Structures are given as C-alpha cells and as structure tokens.
Amino acid sequence: MIISGKAIKAAVIGDPISHSLSPQIHNYWLEQNKIDGVYIALKIHPEDLQDCVQSLVKMGFAGFNVTLPHKEEIFKICQRKSKSAEFCKAVNTVIITSEGELFGHNSDVDGFINNLKENAQDFDLKDKIAFVIGAGGAARAAIYGLIKEGVRKIYITNRNEKKAIDLIADFNSKANIVLEFLNQIEFEERLKECDLLVNTTSLGMENQPPLLINLDFLPKSAIVYDIVYKPLMTELLSNAQNRGNKIVTGIGMLLHQAVVGFEAWFKVKPEIDQSIKKQIS
Ligand code: ATR
C-alpha cells in the first residue's frame, strides 16, 4: 500500500464509528488500484462537528462519508447539494471542492438502484408499481431512486403513519408521481399489484425484531429487495425465495453507494468483486 506525503485523504465521520465497514471497503479498493491514498474512520461528537469538518477542509481532505448521527446536520452545513441529497434531506457523501466548499450528495440513492440493476438485470423499473416498507432516511433514498427510474406508483406502509404521510407530502410537492400510504393490512392485500417489494426498515436486522409481512398475495414475478445486510438472508428474503420470488440482498447497496464517493475522491471507478463482497458479509 502506498501512502506518501501526497496521498489523497478521505474519511468516514460518525459517532459511534468503530463498526463502520467503509474503511475496509475503501482501503481494499485503494490497494487493488495501487492508489496513493488513505481512508480513515473518525469519531466526531455532534458538538464538535462544525470545527472538525473545517479541520478536514484545512488539512486538504478530498472528502468524507457521513454516518449517524450527522447526516442531517451535514446537509445543513454543505454549501452545495445534489438533487439526491435535497430529496433525502440527508448527506452521506461530501466532496470538498478546490475552493474548499462542501458539496453534499446522498449516494444511498445510487447504491439502492445500482444494486437492483446488478442483481435483476432484465428488470426495467419504468412504469412499474413498487411497495415500500418504511419512511425513514433509507426509504427516502429508495423512493427517490425509484422515481428517477420512472416507476408509475409507490405504495408505502410504516409503523408511524404520520411520518409516512409527511414523506409522501414532501415528495408529492417535488416530483410527479403517485405515492400512497396504506396500513399494513391494506398493503398486504394490494401486494397483488406489486412488481417490486422493498424493506427499508431495520426490521430483520441482527438484534432487531423480524419483519412480519404476509406475502400470500404477492405475484411470483415480483422482486423482493431487503436493504438489511446483517444477516444477508433475512426472514423476508428467505420467505420470498421459498415461494419462488426473485430476491435482492442489501450488501450490494452498501458497496454501490461506496463506489460513488471513491470515484469522486480517488478518480478511479472501483470494481465490486466477489472478494470484497465476501470480506464484508
Ligand atoms: P434509516 O435512516 O436507516 O432509514 P430511520 O430514519 O430511523 O433510519 O428509519 C427507520 C425505519 O425503520 C422507520 O421506517 C421505522 O419506523 P417508524 O417510522 O415507525 O419509527 C422503522 N422501524 C424501526 N424499528 C421498527 C419497529 N420495531 N417496528 C416497525 N418499524 C420500525
């Protein structure tokens, strides 16, 4: 690994941060591509965020990833933002420009869509009907991605109805798409119209309750996509696979979102190979 005095520097900031898989991913790609660069994890307390970000700018970092709890706060600090960041109201990737400005992007949108495209190559989202479980930050990224790809309609269900209604109102004011809230029973019944079912909640994740959803009405042709990647095979995915649906796991979303920052900072598009998939799953 080459780390010279001219090394390109990038980081991930969050609190906690020790669990982050991003250093492993980016440093694997740096080594694979023989790039003179380094990517480190930095634990930053919320009250120190402004100062620390200014320090990264002064120290000549090319940019950084942002994880909990800073995604919304960084959104406010960035001088310029991509459309994905604006729709998600959160930033997970920052590019520091040559003028020292912060350009904020949300690469979960790219990650969500590119993972689906990689794993369901014949599936065209245009004019399809998507069913989304959840109304948090990940749901916003998934929904904006689906809108960009031209889906016709999105049904949303969420434990907290108000949060989903607010999300729908926000997207309706910005995009030309039919978004509709359904309670879980209605959602399960309407699944007969579904082309793509997505879980964006943390349900099914290690140490979380399982996602309990009745798939009886889901057509066998529908794709089931879970963004949870620990475990890779969630109960939702295993139920879907057992009844004959095609499934998409969440690990690729993490890798595809990382590609965007890596390419912006280190100027090389990294490859998502079997080795990196294995290392982080
Ligand atoms: P993220 O940025 O990862 O999406 P988030 O914004 O906190 O995280 O959103 C978490 C999502 O998981 C929400 O849709 C949340 O539902 P609520 O809006 O009702 O809180 C959902 N979620 C988390 N734990 C849940 C649980 N035990 N039961 C149902 N939904 C849950």
Mutate to test the pocket of ligand 1, among 19, 159, 200, 254 (most ligand atoms within 8 A of CB): 159
Whether the Cβ atoms of residue 140 and residue 218 lie closer than 8 Å to each other? no
**Active site residue ranges:** 71
Rounded CA gap, 209 and 207, in Å? 7
Q: How far is the CA of 156 from the centre of ligand 1 (A)?
A: 13
Q: How far is the CA of 269 from the centre of ligand 1 (A)?
A: 32
Q: How far is the CA of 202 from the centre of ligand 1 (A)?
A: 6
Rounded CA gap, 248 and 118, in Å? 9
Q: Which residues line ligand 1 (CB under 6 A)?
A: 134-139, 158-160, 163, 200-203, 209
Q: How far is the CA of 6 from the centre of ligand 1 (A)?
A: 42
Please report the atom of ligand 1 found closest to the CA of residue 68.
2
pLDDT at 2: 81
Strands 93-96 and 63-66: antiparallel
pLDDT at 1: 72
Whether the Cβ atoms of residue 122 and residue 69 lie closer than 8 Å to each other? no
pLDDT mean by block of 10 residues, the chain; 281 residues: 93 96 98 98 98 98 97 96 96 97 98 97 96 97 97 98 96 90 98 98 95 98 96 96 98 97 98 94 83
Rounded CA gap, 56 and 46, in Å? 15
From residue 16, alpha-carbon distances to 19, 43, 44, 66, 214 in Å are 7, 6, 8, 11, 35
Q: What are the structure tokens assigned to 118, written together? A: 């990689």
pLDDT at 176: 84
Q: How far is the CA of 160 from the centre of ligand 1 (A)?
A: 8
Strands 63-66 and 8-14: parallel
Please report the atom of ligand 1 found closest to the CA of residue 159.
19
Please report the atom of ligand 1 found closest to the CA of residue 71.
2
Residue nearest atom 5 of ligand 1, based on CA coordinates: 136
Angle at 105 between CA 72 and CA 134, to 5 degrees: 55
Mutate to test the pocket of ligand 1, among 19, 165, 184, 201 (most ligand atoms within 8 A of CB): 201
Among 241, 247, 233, which Cα is nearest to 204's? 233
Strand order in the sheet with 129-133: 178-181, 153-157, 129-133, 196-199, 223-226, 246-248
Please report the atom of ligand 1 found closest to the CA of residue 200.
4
Token pair 């066998």: residue: 220
